[in-house]
Every structure is written in structure tokens, then in C-alpha cells.
Amino acid sequence: MLGFFVRRIMVMIPTLLAISAITFVIIQLPPGDYLTTLVTELESRGEAIDQSRLQFLRETYGLDKPMIEQYFVWLGGMLTGDYGYSFEYNRPVADVVGDRMLLTIVVSFATIIFIWVVSFPIGIYSATHQYSLGDYGLTFLGFLGLATPNFLLALVLLYFANVMFGTSIGGLMDPVYMDAPWSWGKMVSVLEHLWIPVIVIGTSGTAGMIRRLRANLLDELHKQYVVTARAKGLSPARVLWKYPLRMAINPFISDIGNLLPQIVSGAAVVSIVLSLPTTGPMLLDALRSQDMYLAGSFLMFLALLTVVGVFLSDVALAMLDPRIRLEGGANR
Amino acid sequence: MTADRLDHYVSTAPFDPYAVEHMSPEQERYYMASQWRMMWWKLKRHRLAVVSGVVLAVMYFTILISEFLSPYALDSRHIHHIYAPPQSVHLFHEGSFVGPFVYGFDYRLDMDTLQRVYTVDRTDVQPIRFFCRGDGYDFWGMIPASLHLMCPSEGGTLFLLGTDRLGRDMLSRILYGTRISLTVGLIGITISFVLGIVIGGVAGYYGGWIDNVTQRFIEVLRSFPELPLWMALSAALPVTWSPILIYFGITLILGLLDWTGLARAVRSKLLALREEDFCTAAQLMGASPRRIIGRHLLPSFMSHLIASATLSIPGMILGETALSFLGLGLRPPITSWGVLLNEAQNINVVALYPWLMLPVVPVIVVVLAFNFLGDGLRDAADPYR
């Protein structure tokens, strides 16, 4: 177990390094470094440029050095909590971000819980009542859920909420708490607003999970040991719970690797439509104004979120399923 | 000795060693059918996939003649009909048959709310004309023409799906948008198909460290959340590029990040197939790796690849729609469904003029159709099951 743990972490480090390299390349993609952008921006506003400040920025971020060195300066900054400088907000990135990242984690986590809670009973029902009316209906709903892009779903929900109830369902908390420090009331307010984005983001994931659980469970149910169990007179519920379900439930954890990038992607767009105070809208703003340091740290954060999430799911899976850690490593 | 032998029957007919293997014509047709033919038979039985295929074929056909099908040109503006609601087609006017027609609008600006109010004028009958001369256009960008499938009556209007904030006909714009939205997926999948086969093929055929490096690289790419990465890359496209360059840039981005799944499928198949005897035989005869991969290995699972490619087209169409919706993708005058939806971003506008959301419908239809067709193809790709 410990060996698996260590091996898994060793795999994670080069992955993160490669991700950071790609992110850095993306930051550098727009023509000119960000000081030239800053200068043109200031000039367009008719402000004077403080040469000493320019010099200061150039030195802190090593912009006069070669690209490779700049990358290491940036990487070192990331590790020590210095995420660069947002010239859009004229403040260090770390200050701008605030608790947006935390809220992103909250939304993603809640979505995963939602997917589990919803797809579990539906998947079991679909598998045990194969080709029944309910199964067909649920399968069709699942297809629809897979096909509807979640930002469109958000838009449609917004529209109906607006037309039918005359309310706006956007936002993640009561406006009162917008800039307030965390308190009990704020948390309750967040929880009250959480369910709509969670449903919207979770729809396609739920649909996929139901299909997978159904397929897995059907595979198990057709195996001989199930027939044996039934033949010796176990109750249907016990036949289902004792082994097939436990075998079929693996994707709930192992699929987080596929699910998480999808959820984080979905969350980014949905939060733009629903104007949630998460990383999505700010990422869009940063990209629009080519505020690449801010955008880069968001991208890095979102990738980090997925990598760590996948790591956690791998560890959980290894603990639950002995087959995984036995075969791990060498020839993967 | 001869006495205890039993009598036995000896046929005098000439011996035909293939007698058992003779097949009826139907059997012959079945057993001798090529892999593609069997796929086709199997696909035909999958109703939903066939219907989806037909829907897609029709939609792809319309992009050849979008100019002819749409009542107006892409950018013809009607300043007196801004945010006009959809007009419905009627057949009977006051109990008598007139043929397809629409009622005209009365337009008034509500001075209190500054809202445009359109009321249907029940006396103003405007018959729709068919195969008529309307807005001029260059057919396929080359041949000047003005023929339309249907146009408004002289001096009348025909906004079957309403108009947008510049008074442009939504139906025409959706029809024109089909052209861009549907081709984005095709070009993107071509890029990702080529990349996936080449990279996955090399990794699977050679194995070893090449395989290792590609696998790690694919893992890294896959751990990025797709959409934010697409957003970042398309935001990095230079602002000085022309809209058509941006279009190709976006398709390139969509294709460049999508090949990983395909490459993995190719790799795992190749890893197994390269151990087969026919592959060793080809190697011994001195075939080049390129020939072995392309001629001997790939065809054996091409059908699977095509099925999975069909399943990943909708992802690209959705990706483009999302990017354009957010304002990071295509730019006018290039019009896709996402660009049209961009106008529907503000919920207050949508609440007043809900028909701006209509481009959602073709998006969902196309994505569903591709999913069903892809599922059908995937099942059909394994005809022996």
C-alpha cells in the first residue's frame, strides 16, 4: 500500500511539471511580454509610465532573462505562493483570486456528490429492470442529458426561472454576503444557492455514470455466481447487494479521473452563464483582456484540482479494491 | 473371408469433394460479404442510427445551398423590424383558403418602457412566394444569384423565427450558421484523426520508450480540463487575424487537443496486433513500418476508429459553440450557432426576446444525432457479435 502511494506521487510530480510548462507556454503565447501590454494599456489611458516601477517589475519577474530562466522564476513563484501580477487589477494575482478557488472546489465537490447520489439508485433501477418502460425512459433522459451542453441548460433554466418566477437564479450567495468574510450565514446562503449550478453541471456526468453503472451491473448480473445465489434461494435484494453491486460500484471512484476534468470544464462555463463567484468568470475576463498571468494561474489551478482529485480517487480505489494495488506499477 | 462381408451400397455418381460446402445464393451472399457490407447490414437494423444518419445527411446537404434556402441574405438588416417576434404561417384567412401566408406587423414603441411592441395585423395578408427573386448573393461565393426557396410578399416581411437586435432574420442566420458549425466538427475531426493514427500508430508499433513518452504526454493533456484550455488557446490567437483565419485557428485548436482518445485506442490495438503472424510475415518480407501499419494493421480496426471519431464530433461542435458563445471563438461576419447564441448571453434580453435562444435547438439535434449514429456504428463495427 505504501509502495503504491509513493509510486503514485512520483508519477504525479512530472505530470504537474509538464502541466506547468504547458501553462507557461500559453501565458507566453500572446505577442509581447506583459510589460509591453502594460505600457500600451497605460498609454491608451493617457497615464504616464513610471520607469522605476517598470524596472522593478522587470526584475522581479526576470523578464529580461531567457525564456527557460523565466519559466523557473515563474515556477518558483508558484511554489512559494507568488502567482505573478495581474495588470488588469493592478494587484498581485494572489490578492485578486480571493476565495474563488475555494468556491470552485466546493462547487466541483458538491457536483460529484450529486452525481453519486443521483446515479446510484437510477443505475441500479435501470439494470434490474432492463428493457422496462422506466429503463427506456431513463435511458432517453440520460441521452438528452449527455447531448445538452450544460451552459445551454443553464441558459434555459435561467430563462424559465426568469419568466415563471420572475427571479434570478444566478449567483452563489446572497448579494449581502458578496464581500463579507466567511460566517455561518454566508455558508448557509452558499448552500442555498449551490443546487442549481450543481444540477446543471452534474447532468451530463450523471447521465454517463448511470450508463456505466447499468452496463457494469448487467455484466455482473449475468454471471454464474448470481444464478447460483438465486438458485439456493437468497432473496433478490440480498443477491443484488452481496456481490454484484459491490463489483459494479468501482466506476464510482475510478471514473473520477474522467469525470473531474469534465466537471471542472463544465463548472467554468456554467459559472460564467450563472455569474457565480468562482474561477470561471474571472478566467474569461482575464483571457479577454489577455491578462495572462491571472489566466495562467487559473489554468494551473484547475489542472492541479483535476490531478489531485484523480490522485485521491486512485488512492481510494487502491484501498477499496485489492486488485488495483497488486497489479500496479511495472508494466503500466 | 468374403462370406461374412455385408452388402453395401456404392454410389456410382461422380464424387464431389466440395458438396458439403455448397451454399445457397443467400448463404453465399452472407458468408462472402465484405466487412463494410456486414457493417451496413447491421447498421440498417439500428433504427435510431439510421434516422440520425438521415437527419445529419439532410443537414449537411443544406450547407451546400444555404443561400437558396434562407429567405434573406446573411446580413440584410430591417431597421423597421428590430427584435420582431416569429411570424407563424397560416393557410386560411377568415375561413377561406389562401395558401401559405403570414400576417403583417403593426409596430409601435412603448414610450414608458421603451420596448418595441409588435402586434399582428389580422387584415394584412402577406402570401409567401416560392422560387422567387430576393436578396442578391454570390452562390458559393462565386456565382451572383438571387433565387430563394421562399420570399416575403412584395413589401411584406417573412421572419419565421423572428429577428435579432439589428433586424436580421434569425432563420436565415441559423441556416447560414449551419455551414460553419457543421464544418468545424469535420475539419477538427480530420486533424485529430490524422494525429491520433500517426502518434498512436508510432507509439503502438514501436512500443518501448517512444510509447512511454507518448503515454505520459497524453496523460498530461488529458488532465487539463478541456474547455478552459480551449479558452486559453483561442484567447491567445492574435487579434489581428482575419475572421477566416480565426476559424481555421479554432478548428486547429479543437483538433489538436482531441486526438488523445483516438491515439490511445490505436495504440492498444496495435500493441496486440503487431504480435500476430501476418504482421511478422510482412516484416520478414521487408515491408516498411509505414506499410505494415497503414496496409496491414489499421484496416483491421478502421471501422472502430470511424465509430469513435463519429462520437467525438459532437464534442467539437459543442466546444466551438461554447467558445463562440463566450465571445472567445469565431467572430462575425463568420456566423455559427455559437456566434448567434452569443447574443443570448444577457438574460434580460433573452427574457424579452426568447427566440434569440432558438439556435440551441439545432445544436441539440445535431449532437443527439451524432451520438445515436456513433452508437449505431460502434455496434455495427463488430458484425460478428
How many Cβ atoms sit within 10 Å of the Cβ of residue B56?
Answer: 19
Cell matching residue A192:
442555498
pLDDT band at A97 (very low <50, low <70, confident <90, very high): confident
The closest CB to that of B321, out of A149, A260, A283, belongs to A149
Comparing B7 with A251, the larger pLDDT belongs to B7
* Mean pLDDT to the nearest integer, A20-30: 80
Q: Are A219 and A247 in contact (CB under 8 A)?
A: no
Does A262 touch chain B if contact means CB atoms closer than 8 Å? yes
Cell matching residue A327:
497489479
Question: Residue A330: what pLDDT?
Answer: 40
Question: Which residues are CB-neighbours of B115 under 8 A, at least 6 positions away?
Answer: B109, B352
The closest CB to that of B225, out of A155, A163, A306, belongs to A306
By C-alpha distance, the chain A residue nearest B371 is: A147
Q: Which residues of A touch B328 (CB under 8 A)?
A: 284, 287-288
Highest mean pLDDT among A8-12, B106-110, B364-368: B364-368
Burial (CB count <10 Å: 0-12, 13-18, 19+), residue B35: middle
Q: Do A288 and B235 touch (CB under 8 A)?
A: yes
pLDDT band at B30 (very low <50, low <70, confident <90, very high): confident
Q: Do A299 and B326 touch (CB under 8 A)?
A: no
The predicted-structure confidence for B160-208, as pLDDT tens digits, reads as follows 888 888 888 888 899 988 988 899 888 989 999 999 988 988 888 888 8
pLDDT at B331 over 90: no
By C-alpha distance, the chain B residue nearest A332 is: B212
**C-alpha torsion angle, residues A115, A116, A117, A118 (rounded to 10):** 50
Question: Residue B61: what pLDDT?
Answer: 92
Q: Are A128 and A219 in contact (CB under 8 A)?
A: no
The predicted-structure confidence for B226-243, as pLDDT tens digits, reads as follows 888 888 888 878 777 888
For chain A positions 184-243, those within 8 Å of chain B (CB to CB) are none
Q: What 3-state class would DSSP assign to B189?
A: helix
Question: Residue A175: what pLDDT?
Answer: 64
Q: Do A306 and B233 touch (CB under 8 A)?
A: no
B294 DSSP assignment = I
Q: Do B322 and A15 touch (CB under 8 A)?
A: no
The Cα–Cα gap between B148 and B146 comes to 6
Cell matching residue B286:
521487408
Strands B96-110 and B129-139: unpaired
* Mean pLDDT to the nearest integer, B31-45: 79
Place of cell 427571479: A167
Q: Do A149 and B318 touch (CB under 8 A)?
A: yes
Q: What share of chain A is helix, strand, coil (3-state, %, to 5)?
A: 75, 0, 20
Q: Which residues of A touch B208 (CB under 8 A)?
A: none
Question: Residue A167: what pLDDT?
Answer: 61
Output A189-193 pairs: Cβ under 8 A, ≥24 positions apart.
Answer: A190/A103, A190/A106
Domain boundaries, chain A: 99-281
Question: Residue A222: what pLDDT?
Answer: 83
User: Phi and psi of B106, rounded to 5°?
Assistant: -105, 135
pLDDT at A168 over 70: no
Q: Do B325 and A18 touch (CB under 8 A)?
A: no
Q: Are A291 and A87 in contact (CB under 8 A)?
A: yes
User: Phi and psi of B125, rounded to 5°?
Assistant: -90, 125
pLDDT at A332 over 50: no
Strands B96-110 and B115-127: antiparallel
Does A290 touch chain B if contact means CB atoms closer than 8 Å? yes
The Cα–Cα gap between B283 and B358 comes to 57
The Cα–Cα gap between B9 and A326 comes to 67
ipTM above threshold 0.85: no
The Cα of A120 is separated from the nearest Cα of chain B by a number of Å equal to 24
* Mean pLDDT to the nearest integer, A193-208: 84
pLDDT at B139 over 90: no
Q: Which of B227, B271, B360, B366 is the mutation pick for testing A, counting most A CBs within 10 A? A: B227
The closest CB to that of B227, out of A143, A260, A265, belongs to A265
Polymer length of chain A: 332
Q: Do B231 and A287 touch (CB under 8 A)?
A: yes
Q: Tell me: domain B172-381, CATH 3.30.360.10, correct?
A: no
Q: Do B225 and A287 touch (CB under 8 A)?
A: no
Q: In terms of DSSP H, where are the helices of B274-359?
A: 277-284, 289-291, 302-325, 337-342, 347-352
Cell matching residue A181:
468574510
Q: Which of A105, A287, A289, A310 is the mutation pick for testing B, counting most B CBs within 10 A? A: A287
Does A272 touch chain B if contact means CB atoms closer than 8 Å? yes
* Mean pLDDT to the nearest integer, B259-287: 86
Question: Residue A171: what pLDDT?
Answer: 65
Cell matching residue A68:
527557460
CATH architecture of the region A99-281: Orthogonal Bundle (1.10)
For A116-134, the DSSP string reads HHHHHHHHHHHHHTTTSHH
Using an 8 Å CB-CB cutoff, list residues of chain B that contact chain A: 216-217, 219-220, 222-229, 231-233, 235-236, 238, 314, 318, 321-322, 325-328, 341, 344-345, 347, 350-351, 354, 357, 360, 363-364, 367-368, 371-372
The predicted-structure confidence for B189-201, as pLDDT tens digits, reads as follows 999 999 998 898 8
pLDDT at A292 over 50: yes
Question: Residue B382: what pLDDT?
Answer: 67
The closest CB to that of B371, out of A146, A158, A170, belongs to A146
The closest CB to that of B325, out of A14, A151, A292, belongs to A151
Q: Do B327 and A288 touch (CB under 8 A)?
A: yes
Residues of chain B with CATH 1.10.3720.10: 172-381
Is omega for the bond preceding B127 within 30 degrees of 0, making it cis? no
Question: Residue B145: what pLDDT?
Answer: 80
Q: What 3-state class would DSSP assign to B101?
A: strand
Place of cell 455569474: A275
The closest CB to that of A283, out of B231, B363, B367, belongs to B231
Please give the helix or strand (H or E) that residue B166 lies within, else none.
Answer: none
Q: Do A306 and B224 touch (CB under 8 A)?
A: yes
Percent of chain A with pLDDT over 90: 0
Q: Do A299 and B232 touch (CB under 8 A)?
A: yes
Question: Residue B57: what pLDDT?
Answer: 93
Question: Which residues are CB-neighbours of B34 under 8 A, at least 6 positions away?
Answer: none
The Cα–Cα gap between A194 and A190 comes to 6
* Mean pLDDT to the nearest integer, B92-98: 80
Q: Which residues of B touch A30 (CB under 8 A)?
A: 236, 238
